[in-house]
């Protein structure tokens, strides 16, 4: 465990990835954006996957630059409007995405912000197959013993396989039927932070044909609250050694800071980088960045989101250049 972390900062950092406000039962207001506009999709519940808002951000001028790429992002209620988020922070997605597109630094794209499931967020974002590979006694201990304060982290059985299937089989086709988007999987990327980074990486291994790029910021490799003798990271590493696809048509982005909860990540991300390197991943298909001093917060992710978008969604003419192949 990292030493000399200020107690208050550590507590704040621990709260950020594992505690997210549950969307209200009645329909929440649309986020207010500084550029472009928001439309909302409503899909019914499907199996264990609860209905929730899906906020689609359309850039200024849409649809004049069709076909658009699609950036699907987790924790959708945290992306656009700090006035409606639990911690009064946001990713500033609309500001960053609109500026990058206006400057020609990315291809034209829309953003699909999928809200999380509130208390069931951990069960939805925790990669299911690594969890199921743990010994039965360890799984039961995590189900009943992993806590967020006094509340259990897992309020229901894990269903991340069903969630990833819902994203690819229900949400993507719905977006394609309503919006002027490219049919090419290379024009679809999946981006998340913290637990959202875990599920993004998991989707690469479980549904590699659905997306061309995957972004995982401040990936929460501990899986639960960090501590000694945590069995979760080795299970993730074993899963990646066996299941991470070899490079070819995908781009994969990781980053992390080293403050608050991110202080736990550098050695864990270094092991993930070694696994990827052993499978042949390298720039320009792979990028893993460290940001000294950066903490675990939406403000920190907003500050470096431009690098995620430009890496995963470069202008199409750039991809014709051999250095991008």
pLDDT tens-digit readout, 56-90: 999 999 999 999 999 999 999 999 999 999 999 99
Predicted local confidence at residue 145, as pLDDT: 78
Q: Is the pLDDT of residue 98 over 60?
A: yes
Predicted local confidence at residue 109, as pLDDT: 98
Q: CA 2 to CA 24: how far, in whole Å?
A: 36
Q: Which residues neighbour 30 within 8 Å (Cβ) at sequence distance 6 or greater?
A: 38, 40, 55
Q: pLDDT per residue over 137-170, tens digit each?
A: 999 988 887 877 767 888 899 999 999 999 999 9
Q: Is the pLDDT of residue 12 over 60?
A: no
3-state SS, residue 168: helix
Predicted local confidence at residue 319, as pLDDT: 58
Neighbours of 175 (CB within 10 A): 18
The larger pLDDT score, comparing residue 92 to residue 224, is at 92
Quickly name the fold that domain 7-324 has.
Answer: Rossmann fold (3.40.50)
Predicted local confidence at residue 153, as pLDDT: 86
Confidence of residue 265 (pLDDT cuts 50, 70, 90): very high
CB 59 within 8 A of CB 36: yes
Predicted local confidence at residue 290, as pLDDT: 98
Q: What is the pTM of this model?
A: 0.90
Q: CA 260 to CA 293: how far, in whole Å?
A: 9
Instruction: Spell out the alpha helix ranges (H) of the chain.
Output: 7-18, 93-102, 121-125, 128-133, 136-145, 160-166, 172-178, 195-206, 232-243, 265-278, 298-312, 316-319
Predicted local confidence at residue 21, as pLDDT: 35
The larger pLDDT score, comparing residue 295 to residue 13, is at 295
């Amino acid at each position: 465990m990292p030493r000399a972390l200020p107690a208050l900062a550590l507590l704040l950092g621990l709260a950020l990835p594992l505690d997210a406000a549950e969307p209200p039962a009645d329909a929440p207001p649309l986020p207010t954006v500084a550029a472009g506009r928001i439309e909302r999709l409503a899909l019914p519940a499907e199996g264990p996957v609860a209905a929730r808002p899906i906020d689609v951000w359309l850039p200024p001028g849409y649809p004049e630059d069709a076909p658009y790429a699609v950036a699907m992002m987790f924790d959708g209620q945290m992306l656009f409007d700090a006035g409606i988020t639990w911690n009064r922070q946001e990713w500033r997605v609309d500001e960053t995405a609109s500026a990058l597109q206006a400057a020609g630094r990315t291809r034209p794209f829309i953003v699909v912000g999928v809200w999380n499931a509130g208390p069931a967020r951990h069960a939805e974002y925790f990669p299911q197959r690594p969890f199921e590979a743990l010994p039965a006694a360890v799984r039961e201990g995590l189900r009943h013993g992993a806590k967020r304060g006094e509340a259990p982290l897992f309020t229901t059985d894990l269903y991340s396989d069903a969630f990833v299937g819902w994203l690819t089989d229900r949400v993507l086709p719905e977006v394609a039927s309503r919006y002027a988007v490219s049919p090419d999987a290379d024009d679809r990327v999946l981006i998340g932070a913290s637990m959202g980074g875990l599920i993004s990486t998991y989707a690469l291994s479980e549904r590699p044909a659905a997306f061309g790029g995957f972004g995982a910021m401040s990936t929460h490799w501990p899986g639960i609250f960090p501590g000694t003798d945590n069995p979760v990271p080795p299970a993730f590493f074993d899963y990646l050694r066996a299941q991470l696809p070899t490079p070819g048509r995908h781009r994969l982005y990781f980053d992390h800071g080293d403050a608050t909860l991110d202080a736990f990540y550098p050695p864990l991300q270094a092991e993930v980088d070694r696994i990827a390197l052993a499978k042949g991943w390298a720039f320009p298909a792979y990028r893993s960045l460290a940001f000294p001093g950066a903490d675990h917060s939406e403000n920190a992710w907003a500050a470096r989101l431009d690098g995620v978008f430009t890496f995963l969604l470069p202008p199409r003419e750039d991809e014709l250049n051999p250095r991008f192949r």
